[in-house]
Chains A and B, each alone.
Chain A
Amino acid sequence: MNVTKNARILVFSTVKISDPAIDMAGLLKLHYSPKVYTISVPCSSAVKPRWILRALAKGFDGVFIAADGTDCPYGESCTEKTGEIVKKTHQLMKESNIDPVRLKMAAICSVCSESFIKHINSFNDTLLKLKTTE
């Protein structure tokens, strides 16, 4: 069992866009770490910084926002707004001496299963390196 080798990652994904991509990764039997957990929200611009900070405080090594990007069904401002959330949270993390690298965001479209796996694997590697240096 290799679960101990993996970082614990919380993914905020979106019901209509990135959830289908993550589901399809499963359908295609694309493997990733079982330490990756998903909480679905309607839109990536709805993620509150306090949720991210809580996840990090409670033991998650990293938080990944699987953003809607330009595919957001609620409007084109989503990319900018999600970016603002990440910027604001990074600032709060710095103030609390949390390495900002522990929060990552990438746009995951509804068929971006392979891209999701790539992002999550590379985030996993980054977080593991961070743990080693700490």
Chain B
Amino acid sequence: MKQRIGVYICHCGGNISDYVDVEMVREAVAHEKGVAIAKTTVFACADSNQKEMVQDIKDNQLDAVVVASCSPKLHEVTFRAVVERAGLNKYNYVHANIREQVSWPHSDNKAGATQKAIQIVRAAIAKVRLSEAIEPLEVDTTQAVLVIGAGIAGMKAAIALSKMGVKVYLVEREHFIGGRIAQWDVLCLTNETGKELVSRLYNEIVSNKNITLYTGAQLIECKGSMGNFAVKLKLNPRYVKDICNDRASLRKAIDVCPVEVPDEFNFGITKRKAIYHNFPGEYPQAAVIDMNSCTRCGLCAKVCDKIDLDMKVEDLELNVGSILVATGFDPYTPAEGEFGYKVIDNVVTLSQFKRLLAFSEPGKLQWKGKPVKNIAYIYCVGSRQVEGENKYCSRYCCTATINTALKANEKFPELNHFHFTRGIRTYGKQEQLYHNASKSGHVFLQSYEDDPSRVERKGDKTIVRINDILTNRKELEVEADLVVLVIGMVPRSNNSVADILKLPRGRDSFFNEIHMKLRPVETVIDGITIAGTCQGPKNVVESINSALSAAIKSYSFVGKDKLMVEPVVAEVDPNLCKWCDKCTRACPFDAIFKNEQGVAHVNDTVCKGCGMCLPVCPTNAIQLKTFTDNEIESMIDVLANEL
């Protein structure tokens, strides 16, 4: 039992101390059994305080420590490291959460908050008093990373990991890599096209021995944990053997295909066949048959011997030490009638407009056979919603729209641009684009969120109206030949990856990091990192930054052939076990077996510490380390017994 406990109560600036009387907490716990020192500190996580803690532990021969501060999700790791630096075992540290679970939710009741904080710190002291020094378990690590999603983030992460010497499996659900970037033309600031960027990265990937790329591949199962994940992929065939170099016969096969469906690459504004060979910017440069649309008429196979309609779906099993998720975003789909979408025929989304510009020949821009001169852009469609769920700003769209409009002018100089905004957010270096557009004669109008622009049909004309706050709410109108809805980003609608990996989502439904500043690419599932827009709206630069961070974090799990993991595992008391088999049946990981003595035994390296075996044992023979009966019940006793 620990007898020299150090207790630190954090002000967290004022986040805690504005609502909790931290001095009163300190006084209340200072005389708890075993407490040697009790201090308050303005910022427990500050470097100076960490140094002071190390000194305190040494000077006072402390044998255990409690810090009462923010959620353990943020700083439990930090303080465990502090006690280790002072020579203690890190499991002789207990974290008390008095910010997220005290000062913030009870900011309306300071006395109640202070009382609760006292109880929580006392419970933490009770637990740490019983804590035992345990050593991390060493497990073999599979030095490979699964990167899910071969968009810009996934590709960059895969390349970065491969350069660190790690084997990378890059998996893309679609038959073509590049994600959204492949669909964009000229990107802002660098003037590169998406196609050029994807081509460069693709060439780097296919020439890299450490990267294996799977397209048409879907994650269908994941077992195991950090260091040793066993994943199963479903590989959907292209139904075209190898890479068909006979372009003429392939062209014939596409020509004879009788099925036409909207082309998702062009966001439905053009059609493609069931067999299609995608645009030059899409890799691999191989045709594919879309079996959801194909009627299996066999006409294509008659003119091209590379086509094989009998190709089968295959399963592939891989072992990896870490998983990096970069599954990207979906563009927001406006509701029917939202700013005239799908009701007025010259209303398109920004994604459609960008594709229209990409494949239109220079000269005069046309939409559905009619010339386009005046373009009205309606901003924040599906972002910053007043009534909808998407309260966030999608970050990329103001810049993307202005960049697209400026590039459109280079190809179609006669265009007039009218921007119906809710305030332009071309932050950072991108502000220059806004400046250029303003100087080039683009007209920027602005409305408040409660009084949005309106798109109306008047005879054969499409009118966009706004009560423009830049001209004292004067009602202004533009007769538009094309209305472009500047749509934001939303989470992928089909994201089975999240369900399989059990990835938590934030309030915006994008994947959630542990902490947006302190642990921005880690998830609560150990060994799984997130990158790019699956985490929330980002532009290309931001996506790549997060991808490189996630790559380094994933590398930290697999960089060595051994990994130290939490020793929070179940333990059977052989004297109490009567062997009934209930624990083996309850264990989802097959970690418990009957040993030579005829009693249950836990395989430490297989046990994940879930504790599912605990309540099923009829003789209470199983304890989970750091969650033992003694520890939990000592906390219950303290919490029930208010001072």
Please give the residue numbers on chain A whose beta carbons come within 8 Å of chain B beta carbons, in ascending order: 1-3, 8, 10, 15-17, 19-20, 22-27, 29-35, 37-43, 45-51, 54-55, 58-60, 71-75, 77-78, 81, 85, 88, 109-111
Contact = CB atoms under 8 A, between A and B. Distances in A.
Given A29-B105, A46-B627, A110-B512, A3 B115 contact: yes
Nearest to B114: A34
Query: Lowest 10 A-B CB distances belong to which pairs?
Result: A46-B611, A34-B112, A110-B504, A58-B640, A26-B104, A75-B588, A26-B100, A23-B100, A74-B610, A59-B640
A81 B612 contact: yes
B586 interface: yes
A17 B504 contact: yes
A71 B105 CA distance: 25
B129 interface: no
A88 to B, nearest CB: 8
B152 to A, nearest CB: 27
B552 to A, nearest CB: 23
B100 A58 contact: no
Contact of B610 (A19, A46, A50): A46
A25 B109 contact: no
Given A46-B624, A58-B641, A25 B615 contact: no
B610 A51 contact: no
Contacts of B71: 19, 23
Contact of A16 (B111, B524, B640): B524
A110 to B, nearest CB: 4
A58 B611 CA distance: 24
B102 A34 contact: yes
A1 B112 contact: yes
Contact of B101 (A38, A59, A85): A38
B263 to A, nearest CB: 35
Interface in B77-109: 97, 99-109
B620 A50 contact: yes
Contacts of A74: 588, 608, 610, 612
Contact of A31 (B105, B116, B636): B105
B435 interface: no
Contacts of B624: 42, 46
B530 to A, nearest CB: 14
Q: Which residue among A3, A17, A46, A59 has the maximum number of chain B CB atoms within 10 Å of its CB? A: A46
Contacts, number: 156
A10 B108 contact: no
A111 B609 contact: no
Q: Which residue among B71, B107, B123, B612 has the maximum number of chain A CB atoms within 10 Å of its CB? A: B612
B615 A48 contact: yes
Given A1-B112, A17-B504, A48-B614, A31 B106 contact: yes
Given A3-B115, A23-B100, A81-B586, A110 B105 contact: no
Nearest to A31: B108
Given A27-B100, A46-B627, A8 B640 contact: yes
B397 interface: no
Nearest to B523: A16
A3 B109 contact: yes
A51 to B, nearest CB: 5
A30 B105 contact: yes
A73 to B, nearest CB: 4
A75 B512 CA distance: 20
A108 B96 CA distance: 21
A60 B101 contact: no
Nearest to B623: A48
A34 B568 CA distance: 30
Contacts of A26: 99-105
A41 B106 CA distance: 23
Contact of A3 (B97, B105, B111, B627): B111
Contacts of A55: 636, 640
A85 B502 contact: no
B611 A41 contact: yes
Interface in B610-643: 610-612, 614-615, 620, 624, 627, 629, 632-633, 635-637, 639-641
B618 to A, nearest CB: 11
Nearest to A74: B610
A81 B610 CA distance: 12
A48 B73 CA distance: 24
Contact of A43 (B105, B525, B610): B610
Contacts of B73: 19-20, 23
B505 interface: yes
A24 B512 CA distance: 12
Interface string B359-373: 000000000000000
Contact of A1 (B111, B586, B610): B111
Given A17-B504, A47-B615, A111-B506, A42 B109 contact: no
Contacts of A72: 502
Given A17-B504, A75-B588, 12 more contacts: A3-B112, A23-B73, A32-B105, A34-B106, A34-B116, A37-B120, A42-B568, A45-B586, A45-B610, A46-B624, A51-B633, A110-B504
A111 B73 CA distance: 15
B507 interface: yes
B116 A29 contact: no
Nearest to A6: B112
Contacts of A71: 502, 504
9 contacts: A1-B109, A22-B101, A31-B107, A34-B102, A42-B609, A46-B624, A59-B640, A85-B615, A111-B506
B66 to A, nearest CB: 15
A45 B524 contact: no
A58 to B, nearest CB: 4
Nearest to B528: A73
Contacts of A88: 615
Contact of A29 (B107, B568, B609): B107
